[in-house]
Chains A and B, each alone.
Chain A
Amino acid sequence: MSIVTVQLGQCGNQIGFEVFDALLSDSHSSQGLCCKRENEAYQASCKERFFSEEENGVPIARAVLVDMEPKVISQTLSKAAQSGRWKYGQHACFCQKQGSGNNWAYGYSVHGPRHEESIMNLIRKEVEKCDSFSGFFIIMSMAGGTGSGIGAFVTQNLQDQYSNSLKMNQIIWPYGTGEVIVQNYNSILTLSHLYRSSDALLVHENDAVHKICAKLMNIKQISFSDINQVLAHQLGSVFQPTYSAESSFHYRRNPLGDLMEHLVPHPEFKMLSIRNVPHMSENSLAYSTFTWAGLLKHLRQMLISNAKMEEGIDWHVRPSLSGPSSLGKMSLNKDLHFNTSIANLVILRGKDVQSADVEGFKDPALYTSWLEPVNAFNVWKTQRAFSKYEKSAVLVSNSQFLVKPLDMIVGKAWNMFAS
């Protein structure tokens, strides 16, 4: 089933480009470690989900590009066309000449309603191209004016007009020391509005991804392009095809729906975060080998110790071994910064994936009292390797990862408001 992506603002459009590029290059990769037939099925599934076909065979991304300035969109369009392997639809973008000045209200209350019809028309055309339509990705930043304000407005419209379709917002969490003065206001306004109209908020923290680029990838001068590529890699490892639960012969038809059903059915807990292992530069990759046991051990520790990446994990944090006394457990966990989860989804890709043991994630100590591991934890597997990594694992988690960052933003916004 197909997903239509709405790319909003500078952030959304740049990231969107990297995502489509990563998805397509992975699907064409020759290092899939699987037979030809399987590779073809993988390719077909990926293509049907994210691209539509044109007569001359060049895949067209199922996307709508929206920005209030023309510069970023035209750059994005030409980068895609230059790749030669895919492109955006000719009439799939909407831009203006004015910009939003990082003003959330300008995006939400002025630009949004003014251009509502044009934007929704573009989206409708894209949806109509889909034979079977699953839902929307909305890629936007929280801190600016266009992405955040218009993003909130568009998501609300999608809720009204496509109430049965799924909506996942890919939200870019700004740097703690970001340059936009009102970024905390923008963020809070965005989150509060999205909480009512979106089904899932998949959060990508700039700080975390920046550290991955610096420490794991050893990039000296980190550009937005590097950051976006890491992000695209993470998203790709979640949404590329995986086997369905019933059989290893069919790829899952609706990963977006399955993911949402596993992780965000509760209306008050919609925020998700991503962690993945391993992540390194291509040079290092050539000299590394991995075992599932090692990867999963690291991933689990990243989860419970609230680590953003594989380096610098705090191994002292452990699930409490005391009995069912919840009060005692809570205070102990607070001291050790133990991250409790509501639900987790682990996706494994690569060689010998059937032998991977995920029992560590089924420990009841990791989860809340009202949802047992059998309901809270799910694992998806596929033999086909992702993007040159012989083995890779990604964790999508509905847990307390974002509590501290959220508290920080709310605190700063209050301070600014009260001053």
Chain B
Amino acid sequence: TCALWQLLFRVLSPLPAGNALASIALEVQARLVKSALCSQGYPRLALAQLPEDGSQGSRELLLALSWLLARGPVPEQMLAQTRVPLGDEMTVCQCEALASLGPPAPHMEAEGPVDVRHVQWLMGKLRFRWRQLVSSQQEQCALLSKIHLYTRGCHCDQNLGHLSVTEAEMLRDPEGGQKLLRTLEHESRRLEAVLAWRRAEPVFWQWMDTVLGTCAPEAPAAASQPTFLPWVPECGDGELELVVRELQTLEEELREAVERRRVAWEAKARGCGRGPEWSAARRAFRETVEKELGALQRCWEQDSGPAPAHGPHRLVRREDGAAGDRDLQAAELIRTLRSQEACLEAVLRQLQGQCRQELARLAGALPGLIWIPPPGR
């Protein structure tokens, strides 16, 4: 039973660190497993009532494990967590960053009145750290770019063309290369283990059916607890077609209207003048408009459109601009990120405006108070 608690903990814990986990007490691991399962919607109450010392409950734990295995590709996810990256990678989606935040910290009441100057101090420190982080990232990018440029033509894989940092390091330090090789062999063995599991899986499920059969049925309240049901859109085929056609006609009409307006405006603008101030102003206008369009697009695409690719991607520098099917182009990515940024900035401005209004209201409520807002940016 202890081993099952530990296995569940290892599966549910977001941290990939191996050694640190061993030092956590069994009771703590058990408690964390219970809360993690509960937050994921595990329906069986019996698990929550199990004692945390590992003395009983192996059947419930087995059921919990099989529930997790049925919901998603657990062994593959765990492999992905501990994979050895050979290339220089970055992730595009925000999933990992959001997942590592963990459950929200419990609300902590301050012991006494908190001086706002202290809070401002801490905020300032955070800002400095943030800026240093950005500087470090810029440094990393500059160095990566140099390495990729200098090692052009060194890679045996023609598609990649240049070395990554890990690969260059291997050439420089053969001993480190041996260590990397050993790590890769470990990973290989784990991969084989997962493949073996997949081959033998049907036997496991047959057995689990029998285990489930031996369980007493749970109280009806728990069974009817809604878990994650897939959402099926209600409209039928015919209605969808109609809507699509209407949208297409609307799009045509809008396009024509835009074209007419653009021609008229350009004719007007051509007479407006030249000079550096004008071109600077034009540039500024264009940037603002692009930003706003990007924000609109982003908000529109939030409910539809293709999801951005998940997981890490290897950075490859290419002169010819040729890309495979599953490759992402940097320019494309930059555009997506810029539009996301514009959207977030719009939200930030809105929230700041709300804050300002609230502060003004509070200040106005106190007669005789002179309100000096901080120097604005």
Contacts and interface: CB of A to CB of B under 8 A. Distances in A.
A132 interface: yes
Contacts of A368: 117
A1 B135 contact: yes
Contacts of A370: 115, 117-118, 121
Contacts of B136: 132
A370 B120 CA distance: 11
A106 B139 CA distance: 37
A165 interface: yes
Contacts of A165: 131, 135
Contacts of A195: 375
A1 to B, nearest CB: 7
A267 interface: yes
A32 to B, nearest CB: 29
B121 A265 contact: yes
A32 B125 CA distance: 34
Contacts of B122: 265
A164 B131 contact: yes
Interface residues of A, number: 24
Interface in B95-145: 115, 117-118, 120-125, 127-129, 131-132, 134-136, 138-139, 142-143
B125 A265 contact: yes
A133 interface: yes
Contacts of A266: 117, 120-121, 124
Contacts of A341: none
B213 interface: no
Nearest to A195: B375
A346 interface: no
B143 A265 contact: no
Contacts, number: 61
A261 B129 contact: yes
A287 to B, nearest CB: 43
B133 to A, nearest CB: 9
Nearest to B146: A131
A115 interface: no
A248 interface: no
Contact of B139 (A132, A166, A260, A265): A132
B268 interface: no
B368 interface: no
A257 B143 contact: no
The 10 closest A-B pairs by CB, nearest first: A265-B124, A132-B139, A370-B115, A164-B134, A265-B125, A261-B128, A164-B131, A370-B118, A370-B117, A196-B375
20 contacts: A1-B135, A1-B139, A131-B142, A132-B135, A133-B139, A165-B135, A166-B128, A166-B131, A257-B128, A257-B131, A261-B125, A261-B128, A264-B124, A265-B123, A266-B117, A266-B120, A267-B120, A268-B120, A371-B121, A375-B121
Interface of B: 115, 117-118, 120-125, 127-129, 131-132, 134-136, 138-139, 142-143, 374-375, 377
